[in-house]
Amino acid sequence: MRFLILLFTAFFLNACAPIHVNYDFDKAVNFNNYKTYNYYADMETGLSELDTRRFLEALDAKLKAKGLVLADTPDFFIDIKSREYQEVAHNNVGVGLGGSGRNMGGGLSIGIPVGQSKVNRRITIDFVDHSKNQLFWQAVSDYGFNPNAQPEQREAKFSAVAEKILSKYPPKP
């Protein structure tokens, strides 16, 4: 029983890792004009094929909930780019050694990193007006990523990322 509680807690903490999103958009655009969307056919997401499918399914569900429709002739296209990066551990332990005496001095200091680097993922989503071929909305998300996560964990994480990304779409005037 204790093991199950620890396992559940670990999954919960991993799922609740913060997702940071920065938004940018064209203030002159009327977002009510965009009702249909599709993805670029030659999109290079930077995700594995399975993760790309998981993320697109999560985005489709969130966009559908917002009243947008996937169409062959869309009002706008979506482009997705992703990359992984490692965040260096900032925790250090300093060890110092020094001495002095009769006009002589010396010192030695060593910084020892504590902990391990975190793997993060950055996903950039661009909404591009089909008729003007012009970017009108962008979201850039950063979050902790576990490369060894199980498929269910990946689905849950992509769903949370899609929810957070689309929480500010369309932007409030």
- 77-107: per-residue pLDDT in tens? 999 999 988 876 555 555 555 555 565 555 5
Tell me the CATH number at 56: 3.30.160
pLDDT digits (tens, 9 = 90+) for 28-54: 999 999 999 999 999 999 999 999 999
Asked if residue 7 is part of any domain, the answer here is no
pLDDT digits (tens, 9 = 90+) for 106-132: 555 566 565 566 789 999 999 999 999
Q: Is 24 helix (H, G, I), strand (E, B) or coil?
A: strand
Asked if residue 58 is part of any domain, the answer here is yes
Asked if residue 125 is part of any domain, the answer here is yes
Residue 77 DSSP label: E
pLDDT digits (tens, 9 = 90+) for 5-18: 544 444 444 445 69
3-state secondary structure 79-124: EEEEEEEEECCCCEEEEEEEEEECCEEEEEEEEEECCCCEEEEEEE
Asked if residue 56 is part of any domain, the answer here is yes
Asked if residue 5 is part of any domain, the answer here is no
Asked if residue 6 is part of any domain, the answer here is no
Q: How many CB atoms lie within 10 A of CB 153?
A: 14
Show the domain range for 80: 15-166
Distances (CA, A) of 21 to 68, 125, 127, 163, 168: 21, 11, 15, 11, 10
Asked if residue 2 is part of any domain, the answer here is no
Q: How many CB atoms lie within 10 A of CB 45?
A: 20
Asked if residue 3 is part of any domain, the answer here is no
Q: How many CB atoms lie within 10 A of CB 94?
A: 8
Q: How far apart are CA 36 and CA 69, in angstroms?
A: 5
- Count the domains in the chain: 1
Q: Which two tokens stand for residue 19?
A: 């997702």
